[in-house]
Amino acid sequence: MRIGELAAAAGVSVRALRYYEEQGLLASRRSAGGHRHYPESAADQVWLIQQFYAAGLSSKAILAIMPCIETGEVTPEALALLVAERDRIDRQVEGLASARDRLDTIITTAGTPSCTGHPYRPAG
Amino acid sequence: MRIGELAAAAGVSVRALRYYEEQGLLASRRSAGGHRHYPESAADQVWLIQQFYAAGLSSKAILAIMPCIETGEVTPEALALLVAERDRIDRQVEGLASARDRLDTIITTAGTPSCTGHPYRPAG
DNA sequence: CTAGAATCTCACGTGAACGTCAGATTCAAC
DNA sequence: GTTGAATCTGACGTTCACGTGAGATTCTAG
């Protein structure tokens, strides 16, 4: 498939796909004229890249991890990185849960009779 | 307390504190010479700001939410924002959990006898 | 074969949350 | 009063994951 189709299929921009290739995260075959061509499996791969980006991994980290996913082979360095990122995500989830609870408390408290309805009474 | 002390107490840079003030997130009284001065409670406030930043809230969102925390008053707009951010965090946690599991699977699989030890055998 | 859509390669622009350097000023200690 | 550390106000630099033209080339449909 061509880059526009892949972009549509994966729900990302064409520019993003070129950027992934630039970072070494996504390979492509080229036509005689230089146009990129992808296999069907590329969509899943892009999905995974997006997921890792969303999880806060950098391009470099993803680059180091991707081969492990494709081949199953894990170097000690990659393993260390994997563990470090997993633990970082764990801590991030804790922080998120904490912030979430904070927001939720305010939301719930706002539902209290003494507060609901009228917004900010200047001289009440 | 002075800005350097607050920075040390809250574990952030002096520049960050000035930035928070610039964004309207953190107030300060000034000495005759123009130096910033903070109450003890500022450390907790900075902590909260950091937590919200870490949770992916923008300066603008935090700015809108902070008054609710301090006063307990919640305008309808603020409530909508609070709910939106809470839900966004929920979705983000889901994504993080998914990515985490992905990493964990690789880590665990790497502990398997057929893979442990030797890193990437070029011609094995 | 030709028009037009898609893609190509530069290469600068963006927004967020600060980092960092410069030069001037102020504060705390002696 | 004087020194040296801390703080001040700009203002430009940084990093990341792209956005956004510009201008040229390639593919596809009729």
Q: Give pLDDT tens digits for A15-35.
A: 999 999 999 999 999 999 999
Reading the block at residue B50, the tokens are: 């950091």
Most B-contacting residue of A87, A96, A104, A105 (CB-CB within 10 A), to test interface: A96
| Percent above pLDDT 90 for chain B | 78
Reading the block at residue B24, the tokens are: 């309207």
Q: How many residues are present in chain B? A: 124
Answer for the pair B78, B68: CB distance below 8 angstroms, yes or no. Answer: yes
Residue B86 has pLDDT above 60, yes or no: yes
Query: Who among A79, A93, A115 is closest to B107 (CB)?
Result: A79
Nucleotide nearest to A35 (CA to C1'): C7
Q: Which of A71-75, A105-109, B44-48 has the lowest mean pLDDT?
A: A71-75
The Cα angle at residue A41 between residues A39 and A43, in degrees rounded to 5: 100
Rounded distance in angstroms from the CA atom of residue A2 to the C1' atom of nucleotide C1: 25
Footprint of strand D on the protein (CB under 7 A): A 2, 12-13, 15-16, 19, 23, 31-35, 50, 53, 57-60; B 2-5, 14, 18, 34-36
CA of B52 vs chain A CAs: smallest distance (Å): 6
Measure the N-to-C terminal CA separation of chain A; round to a whole number of Å.
64
Residue B120 has pLDDT above 60, yes or no: no
pLDDT in tens, A47-101: 999 999 999 999 999 999 998 888 888 999 899 999 999 999 999 999 999 999 9
The secondary structure of residue A25, as a DSSP letter, is S
Contacts of A28 (CB under 8 A, 6+ apart): A3, A21, A36, A37, A38, A42
The secondary structure of residue B117, as a DSSP letter, is S
Footprint of strand C on the protein (CB under 7 A): A 2-5, 14, 18, 34-36; B 12-13, 15-16, 19, 23, 31-35, 50, 53, 57-60
Q: Which of A94-98, B27-31, B33-37, B107-111 has the lowest mean pLDDT?
A: B107-111
pLDDT score at A114: 53
Chain A neighbors of B115, CB-CB under 8 A: 72-74
Reading the block at residue B4, the tokens are: 């350097």
Answer for the pair A89, B103: CB distance below 8 angstroms, yes or no. Answer: yes
**Is residue A104 within a helix (H) or strand (E), and if so which, with residue range?**
helix A76-110
How many whole angstroms separate alpha carbon B75 and alpha carbon A109?
12
CA of B34 vs chain A CAs: smallest distance (Å): 32
List all nucleotides in chain D with at least one atom under 7 A from a protein Cβ.
6-9, 16-20, 25-28
How many whole angstroms separate alpha carbon A79 and alpha carbon B106?
9
Judging by beta carbons within 10 Å of its beta carbon (0-12, 13-18, 19+), is residue B49 exposed, middle or buried?
A: buried
Residue B30 has pLDDT above 90, yes or no: yes
Rounded distance in angstroms from the CA atom of residue B61 to the C1' atom of nucleotide D12: 27
Answer for the pair B63, B24: CB distance below 8 angstroms, yes or no. Answer: yes
Answer for the pair B8, B41: CB distance below 8 angstroms, yes or no. Answer: no
Answer for the pair A3, A18: CB distance below 8 angstroms, yes or no. Answer: yes
Dihedral (C-alpha) A90, A92, A93, A96: value to the nearest 10 degrees?
170
